[in-house]
């Protein structure tokens, strides 16, 4: 009967927590997809033959999608032409489990390509993190600076993505300059950087022509400073629940065993 009680405890624990363990997405990556090609029409995008983006116009960016780790075939079609089977571009995107990526269709249509940015989802508590990507195909290398002040990111050429800079929360007037000069090509007044947020600022469009030079700002909450009201998940949450509940399960099983044995209802 002791074996029976042990099995019962194991069954109860597995019933309560087994689903949580099995449901963890340890083999998944987070991928979002954006349209940053200034002269390309709206597009449909497939991953491994499955349509994941439909009729995405210039500057559109999806939410994060969960995809299995490994290599995936990504194809870009003019919107509404997936059934024709003639993609404008097909490439391979490799992703690792537990990581996040931003995949962008960039450059002009005649030279269309896909680039993948590795996204850092953590910050120091109370700080903001920001980086800049240069995806305007006809713009020279640029500096990003405080308006009339210091350069924050220097000499970024086309297709460059800066390292993240961790900063105090602030609202800043920023400007994009031709690298090494005071010539402003784009003003970004009132740029708000909030605590525990991660920002990717992408310069897109054309320096000469239409669509004009502009920015896409991607803002994501830090995964290292989750709100306290949200339930814990994964290993940390499981350990906490086990620590809280397991002693009560053992106590209840032991008490039941003692009472039954005392009444002579069974023998161990």
Rounded to an integer, the average pLDDT of 243-259 is 44
Q: pLDDT category, 235, cuts 50, 70, 90?
A: very low
22: tokens are 């099995």
Query: Quick one: pLDDT at residue 1?
Result: 53
Q: How far apart are CA 25 and CA 10, in angstroms?
A: 24
Same fold across 26-119 and 120-232: yes
Beta-carbon neighbour count of residue 180 at 10 Å? Answer: 13
Q: pLDDT tens-digit profile of 66-119?
A: 999 999 999 999 999 999 999 999 999 999 999 999 999 999 999 999 999 999
Rounded to an integer, the average pLDDT of 128-153 is 96
Q: Percentage of residues in the chain with pLDDT exceeding 90?
A: 73
The CATH number fitting domain 120-232, selected from 1.10.10, 1.10.3470, 3.40.50, 2.60.40: 2.60.40
Q: What angle do CA 217, 59, 87 make, to 5 degrees?
A: 140
Is beta strand 165-167 parallel, antiparallel or unpaired with respect to 128-134?
A: antiparallel
On whether the CB atoms of residues 119 and 102 are closer than 8 A, the answer is yes
pLDDT above 50: residue 149: yes
Q: What is the mean pLDDT of the chain?
A: 82
Q: What angle do CA 199, 230, 103 make, to 5 degrees?
A: 30
Q: In DSSP terms, which residues pair with 103 in a beta bridge?
A: 33, 116
Q: In DSSP terms, which residues pair with 197 in a beta bridge?
A: 221
Q: pLDDT category, 25, cuts 50, 70, 90?
A: low
Q: pLDDT category, 26, cuts 50, 70, 90?
A: confident
Encode 57-67: b = buried (16+ Cβ within 10 Å), e = exposed.
ebbebbebbeb
Rounded to an integer, the average pLDDT of 188-209 is 96
Q: What angle do CA 244, 249, 254 make, to 5 degrees?
A: 135
Rounded to an integer, the average pLDDT of 112-137 is 96
Of 50, 67, 56, which Cα lies nearest the Cα of 34?
Answer: 56
Stated pTM of the model: 0.74
The CATH number fitting domain 26-119, selected from 1.10.260.40, 3.40.50.880, 2.60.40.1110, 3.30.1360.120: 2.60.40.1110
Q: How far apart are CA 209 and CA 203, in angstroms?
A: 15
Query: Domain map of the chain by residue range?
Result: 2-22+248-262, 26-119, 120-232
Phi and psi dihedrals of 15, rounded to 5?
-65, -40
> 65 CB contacts (<8 Å, ≥6 apart)?
30, 31, 32, 33, 47, 52
């Amino acid at each position: 009967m002791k074996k029976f009680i042990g099995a019962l405890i194991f069954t109860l624990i597995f019933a309560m927590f087994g689903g949580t363990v099995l449901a963890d997405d340890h083999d998944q990556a987070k991928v979002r997809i954006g349209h940053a090609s200034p002269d390309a029409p709206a597009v449909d995008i497939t991953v491994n033959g499955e349509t994941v983006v439909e009729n995405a116009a210039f500057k559109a960016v999806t939410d994060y999608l969960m995809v299995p780790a490994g290599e995936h075939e990504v194809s870009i079609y003019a919107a509404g032409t997936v059934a024709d089977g003639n993609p404008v571009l097909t490439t391979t995107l490799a992703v690792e489990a537990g990581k996040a990526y931003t995949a962008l269709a960039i450059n002009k249509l005649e030279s269309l390509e896909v680039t993948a940015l590795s996204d850092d989802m953590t910050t120091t508590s109370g700080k903001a993190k920001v980086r800049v990507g240069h995806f305007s195909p006809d713009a020279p290398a640029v500096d990003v600076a405080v308006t009339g002040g210091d350069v924050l990111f220097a000499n970024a050429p086309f297709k460059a993505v800066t390292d993240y800079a961790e900063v105090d929360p602030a609202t800043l007037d920023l400007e994009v300059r031709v690298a090494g000069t005071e010539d402003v090509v784009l003003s970004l007044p009132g740029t708000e950087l909030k605590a525990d947020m991660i920002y990717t600022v992408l310069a897109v469009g054309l320096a000469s022509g239409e669509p004009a030079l502009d920015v896409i700002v991607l803002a994501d909450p830090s995964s290292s400073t989750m709100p306290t009201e949200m339930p814990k998940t994964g290993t940390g949450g499981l350990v906490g629940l086990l620590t809280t509940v397991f002693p009560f399960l053992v106590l209840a099983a032991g008490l039941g065993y003692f009472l039954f044995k005392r009444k002579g209802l069974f023998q161990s």
